[in-house]
Copies of this chain bind each other. A is one copy, B any other.
Amino acid sequence: MKISTLSIGDELICGQLTDTNAGTIASTLLAEGLLIQRHITVGDNESDIIGALSDLGRVSDAVIVTGGLGPTADDMTSRAAARATGRRLVINDEARNHVRLMSGKLENLILCPLSDKQAMIPTKSVLIPNPRGTACGFHLMHNGCFMFFMPGVPSEMIVMLHDTVLPFLLERVPHKRVIRTESLNLFGPCEAEVDELLLGIVNPASGLTLGICVTFPWMKVTLRAEADSHDAATDLLLPAVNVVRERLKDYCFSSGNVCMDDAVSELFRDRCLTVSLAESCSGGLIAKRLTDIAGSSRYFLESVVTYSNDAKMRLLGIPSGLLNGSGAVSSECASAMAKGIRQASGSDLGLAVTGIAGPDGGSEDKPVGTVFISLAAADGCWTKRFHFNGNRDDIRTLTAWTALDWLRRYLLKRE
């Protein structure tokens, strides 16, 4: 089945807003073995929408459209859909009831003036319910192509995709080839090293392919198996996944959509250990990431962001002699910070980072990008100097990732 997507919106085509719907739809469908062949974006312009619908309708069995179903004048997807498919635009009673019902229910933040515009749907269409917003979606069949129209608001679109569009498509896929994928997420090695580690693992002729996707600062290795049945695809996939996992060893921090923060949080929960942080150049970023996870209060005790020397002395007990001697950005200071926060908070682990994120503040000895990370625990204190490349944002991101990876590696060894 050839499937395409079409995103509609001036803010998308002008680059004011990054389109995430196309990617969400693609990855959702891929998980069910359905591949997107072509994606188009156009602005809120009737003839551009009609042109894109016609082109995609010609080469696709199904087109999934998002955007342009709102109440304002610049939303013109319904009218364009009617014109492109030779239908009339009429008020749909069911859609009108929905708009009125939802307008009453929704909070201030997204309340729009009551309007029948959102109830205007092309004839011979079937509504796609939208439990989250006023805009109903609809689908229709034109010249042998299924066309689905959904609002562009991601949280509304995703529910409608899962509830209506995906089941509808899956029911109609004939002789489906089963595609199964598995992804492993890595932090640490460079791409060339991963390439070499994974040399010769897959044989495309067998239906197994391997892709490496670099997403600063981590990488995703995806294995994809295509076969006639679920079992055959699994038989192809799983042994290869095991080989990849074995070769990548500790570099692999998770699989699927589990991010580094989740991986670390899971280990903390399993090990029943607690942690406190002392951050300087990362400015709260590590605490932010650890507490992104629900339930983090069970292992995360506290964090101090000690930018000033005064704060380092008062909150972490760093002697002023150390700050004047080795300096705030030093191995000695990092260790003292890690031990200091561990002792002050009574946590099992104390993690500290201090460094120069730039763009100013570097010296010949300690250029911008110099970062010290220290981990203090009952069984020792480890400190290491790093040099990270990039701008301020890159350096802070690499600092946080490396610090979280240290926690992960320490926890892994404490089964």
Q: How far is the CA of A63 from the CA of B307 in the complex (A)?
A: 48
- Contact partners of A315 in chain B: CB under 8 A: 302, 304, 315
Counting CB contacts under 8 A, is A65 at the interface? no
Which of A141-149, A262-270, A290-298 lines the interface with chain B?
A: A290-298
A interface, over-half SS: mixed
Decide if B304 touches A304 in the complex (CB within 8 Å): yes
Interface residues on A, range: 35 or more
Q: How far is the CA of A297 from the CA of B311 in the complex (A)?
A: 12
Given A48-B38, A305-B291, verify A211-B11 contact (CB < 8 Å).
Answer: yes
- Contact partners of A306 in chain B: CB under 8 A: 302
Counting CB contacts under 8 A, is A17 at the interface? yes
Decide if B307 touches A300 in the complex (CB within 8 Å): yes
Decide if A222 touches B16 in the complex (CB within 8 Å): yes
Decide if B41 touches A38 in the complex (CB within 8 Å): yes
Partner of A22, one of B15, B25, B192, B220: B15
- Contact partners of A286 in chain B: CB under 8 A: 284
- Contact partners of A302 in chain B: CB under 8 A: 304-308, 311, 315
- Contact partners of A20 in chain B: CB under 8 A: 18
Decide if B37 touches A48 in the complex (CB within 8 Å): yes
Q: Fill in one digit per residue for A336-379: 1 if any B CB lies within 8 Å of its CB, else 0.
A: 00000000111000000000011110000000000000000000
- Contact partners of A59 in chain B: CB under 8 A: 51
Given A284-B288, A288-B285, A389-B107, verify A358-B294 contact (CB < 8 Å).
Answer: yes
Q: How far is the CA of A24 from the CA of B17 in the complex (A)?
A: 10
Q: How far is the CA of A41 from the CA of B302 in the complex (A)?
A: 45
Counting CB contacts under 8 A, is A126 at the interface? no
| Copies of this subunit | 2
- Contact partners of A51 in chain B: CB under 8 A: 38, 59
Decide if A110 touches B284 in the complex (CB within 8 Å): no
Q: How far is the CA of A15 from the CA of B7 in the complex (A)?
A: 14
Given A25-B15, A36-B13, A393-B292, verify A307-B297 contact (CB < 8 Å).
Answer: yes
- Contact partners of A413 in chain B: CB under 8 A: none
Decide if A108 touches B190 in the complex (CB within 8 Å): yes
Counting CB contacts under 8 A, is A39 at the interface? yes
Counting CB contacts under 8 A, is A245 at the interface? no
- Contact partners of A13 in chain B: CB under 8 A: 26, 35-39
Decide if B40 touches A39 in the complex (CB within 8 Å): yes
Given A37-B48, A107-B389, A215-B17, verify A291-B303 contact (CB < 8 Å).
Answer: no
Q: How far is the CA of A183 from the CA of B300 in the complex (A)?
A: 40
Q: How far is the CA of A95 from the CA of B345 in the complex (A)?
A: 58
Q: Fill in one digit per residue for A271-282: 1 if any B CB lies within 8 Å of its CB, else 0.
A: 000000101001
Could you pull out 12 A-B pairs where Cβ atoms are within 8 angstroms?
A13-B26, A14-B26, A16-B213, A109-B389, A113-B195, A279-B284, A283-B292, A288-B288, A291-B305, A297-B307, A301-B311, A302-B304
Interface residues of A (CB under 8 A from B): 10-20, 22-28, 30, 35-43, 48, 51-52, 55, 59, 72, 74, 107-113, 183, 190-192, 195, 211, 213, 215, 220, 222, 277, 279, 282-288, 290-292, 294-297, 300-308, 310-311, 314-315, 344-346, 357-360, 389, 392-393, 396
Closest 10 CB pairs of A and B: A283-B291, A284-B287, A15-B26, A15-B27, A284-B284, A15-B23, A302-B311, A303-B305, A39-B41, A284-B288
